[in-house]
Structure 1
Amino acid sequence: MKKTTINYLHVGYWLLVLVQTLLVSLGTGVLGTTFDWRLFSQIVLPVKFLQVLSSAIFFYINYLFLIPVFLKKGNVIKYLPSLIATLLIFTPLYYFLEQRLYPMIGWKSYDADLNFWFAVMITLSSNFINIFLAILLSYLMDWRTMRIQKEIIEKEQFKTELAFLKSQVNPHYLFNTINDIYALTQQQSAEAPNALLKLSELLRYMLRESDDQFVPLSKEIIYLENVIELQKIGQKGLSFVNFEVVGEVNKLKIAPLILINFVENAFKHGTFNKKNNPINILIIIHEQLLHFQISNQINHVKKDKTGGIGLVNVKRRLSLIYPEKHELTIHQLENEFIVDLKIALYD
């Protein structure tokens, strides 16, 4: 809630108090049996306005000064005398209003003249509820501020963690790809320009598009296609990948770089240089549900015992971005690694 909104609520509250006191006056027959606009505008309205104004002034002295300076700092012993002192300071004001000003404009609240202690009791009774309202509101606003600060800290931690996890997208893949393209240029291969173009598109996506919280699913798929094509170029044609997309992707969005770890993991730990043992990647879109499946034969020769960091990162990102909106199942069989991921996407 914005500060201006809170200020409007304060003004609205005191206007309601004023309206309530005016209605009480009308209900008690102050104006007689018939409504007298002159009596209402020249006597009742000014009197009730001054009464509410004096209560509001006392309220904010307590709310903005006494409570923060004394009560919230644990100085209850100082707060109570300060509150009593404020009541005593306001007593002459109430006395002046009731005994001098109001009678001058034709209003008299009490038949008998006020003495000092009776004026003290009027001051206390007029502000008794406001004292507790000020304390309650002050602590509620503190709770609100603490909650907002906690949310800000959590959001910053969320962004920081996501940025860190996103930065962990395997840099070794880029280095390997650059080395592969360098080798192609040394061989003066005709595939070198195309590979360099795909690498530039890949880098552009990683550096620019992935800054957004969500990107079009179609762009994420193009990114995966470029990764696969570059891998095939690096393997000099000895790379077999079946990549299929089923369903409408144009209207949906996904967190960027959320699928690439699974693809890189398949290339890193799998065997895919035989036509009968390819990496199989299938993306199925049904309404707003993405079903991603990838499987590969495990390469026991080059199995990395220190691997798995990428999968840990992507699991964490999924839990942060899609809490209770995703389902990830990983099966590691003797010779096959299978990933099955379902995500409820945003449009």
Structure 2
Amino acid sequence: MEVKLTAAGPHATSTTWSLPEVRNITQNRLLLHLFFWTVYVVFFGLLYGSYIDDYYNAFMVELVELPFKMALVYFNMYYLMPHYLLQKRYLEFFVYLLLLMGAIGALMQFVLLPFLIHPLFCPTTCTEDNLTFYRFVKNIVNINYVVAITAVIALLKNWYSHQQAARNLTQDKLEAELKVLKAQIHPHFLFNTLNSLYALTLKKADTAPEVVLKLSSLMDYMLYEANAAQVPLQKELEYIKNYIALERMRYGNRVEVRYTEVGNVAGRHIAPMLLLPFVENAFKHGVSTETTNAWVRIEVKVTGTQLTLLVENCKCGDRASNSTRDMASGIGLKNLQRRLELLYEGRYELEMEDEPESYAARLVLDLGEY
């Protein structure tokens, strides 16, 4: 016999539980129930024993009444509550519960007390007054203690289970959305890089083999390392540098590219493929036309746990006037903002400046502790 459960979380995998593991959980559950009833008997035995100054009889009475109380408690927890209370059928629940408590109370009052408890445990202290209606009501109130305690425990457990299920469902939804967003980035990047390689091969450029080597390195990172939730910031920046090197080979002296990096990136981690769209957009829409005055500036600054990325590009040529188009739709700005909201909610600032002659994007990110 095997029970398959799927665990939720960032690194969740399908887990198979064998019969011994299920048995251990069941045993632990039985131990918890045994512990509860032991505590209950001890507490009320001591309480009533101190009241009548007879601990032996108090404990014996609690033990004799215990099976009836347990039957009422478990019937309430596993039948009445799931079928009526949790289904919001409140009136039916309380009517059935009161009828059941009355039946158990009557059984204890008019059967157990006169024929078992009275003759065996308290022949001198128990009197005929114990068979009055007042005593019957008092017994119902006594039963109500354990029913109320166990009902509260069951409701808290049910609430906690629903909260956990809701959190797991939300987490699964976020992870699925992140996978979709990352899946959009990968083919988009590959398509643009292959276009660059195609342009070089048309010109029979000597740098084409080097482009293939760089592209191979980028593909290795994109297909294998970028599948992790977090990657070292140093590797992410090396990935961007390789991409910049590819674009330098493609444009040659027609585009002035300046990349600066300040601060210590060692030990810092970041979500993969998060910074590339800024750089890619600068080349694709800012300097993709034939021009001799194009420029791209990329600045990376790390201060403590804070990363600042500034990407600026000129608007050179007619096509560059639409430099914000890709960042405003598709896998551009909307994709980036959604990933930032999912991964760094409340820990990032994103600013865009669209000037007549230039375009700039500035991202401030709190990397926190990995």
Greater shift, 191-200 or 100-109, is seen at 100-109
Identity %: 26
Write out per-residue CA displacement over residues 266-312 of structure 1, whole angstroms, 9 at most, x where no aligned residue: 11221388787531111111111111111111234113374322122
- The 1-side partners of 2:316 and 2:29 are apart by 63
* Structure-to-structure mapping, 1:161-200, within 5 angstroms: 161-169=177-185, 171-182=187-198, 184=200, 189-200=205-216
2:359 corresponding residue in structure 1: 337
Match of 1:285 among 294, 299, 302: 302
Alpha-carbon spacing, 1:169–1:77, altered in 2? closer, same or farther (3 Å): closer
The question of whether the paired residues in 2 share the 8 Å contact of 1:165 and 1:313 is answered with yes
1:35 corresponding residue in structure 2: none
Alpha-carbon spacing, 1:220–1:156, altered in 2? closer, same or farther (3 Å): same
Aligned residue pairs total 336
- The 1-side partners of 2:282 and 2:213 are apart by 24
Amino acid at match of 1:61: F
Amino acid at match of 1:55: K
Alpha-carbon spacing, 1:247–1:52, altered in 2? closer, same or farther (3 Å): farther
- The 1-side partners of 2:356 and 2:339 are apart by 28
The question of whether the paired residues in 2 share the 8 Å contact of 1:283 and 1:290 is answered with yes
SS in 1 for 2:319: coil
Greater shift, 214-223 or 50-59, is seen at 50-59
1:92 corresponding residue in structure 2: 107
- The 1-side partners of 2:201 and 2:134 are apart by 100
Q: Please say if 1:57 is aligned against 2:71.
A: yes
Match of 1:318 among 340, 345, 367: 340
1:23 corresponding residue in structure 2: 46
The question of whether the paired residues in 1 share the 8 Å contact of 2:256 and 2:295 is answered with yes
Amino acid at match of 1:291: T
SS in 1 for 2:260: strand
The question of whether the paired residues in 2 share the 8 Å contact of 1:165 and 1:317 is answered with yes
- The 1-side partners of 2:225 and 2:122 are apart by 72
1:266 corresponding residue in structure 2: 282
Alpha-carbon spacing, 1:148–1:95, altered in 2? closer, same or farther (3 Å): same
Alpha-carbon spacing, 1:340–1:63, altered in 2? closer, same or farther (3 Å): same
Gaps of 5+ in 2: 1-24
Alpha-carbon spacing, 1:45–1:197, altered in 2? closer, same or farther (3 Å): farther
Amino acid at match of 2:349: E
In the TM superposition, residue 184 of structure 1 has moved relative to its aligned partner by 4.4
Q: What's the Cα RMSD here?
A: 3.4
Alpha-carbon spacing, 1:123–1:62, altered in 2? closer, same or farther (3 Å): farther
Alpha-carbon spacing, 1:60–1:277, altered in 2? closer, same or farther (3 Å): same
Greater shift, 169-178 or 317-326, is seen at 169-178
The question of whether the paired residues in 1 share the 8 Å contact of 2:186 and 2:222 is answered with no
SS in 2 for 1:319: helix
- The 2-side partners of 1:176 and 1:78 are apart by 66
The question of whether the paired residues in 2 share the 8 Å contact of 1:291 and 1:342 is answered with yes
The question of whether the paired residues in 2 share the 8 Å contact of 1:185 and 1:192 is answered with yes
SS in 2 for 1:169: helix
- The 2-side partners of 1:149 and 1:219 are apart by 36
> So what's the TM-score if we normalise by structure 2?
0.77
2:237 corresponding residue in structure 1: 221
Gaps of 5+ in 1: 32-38
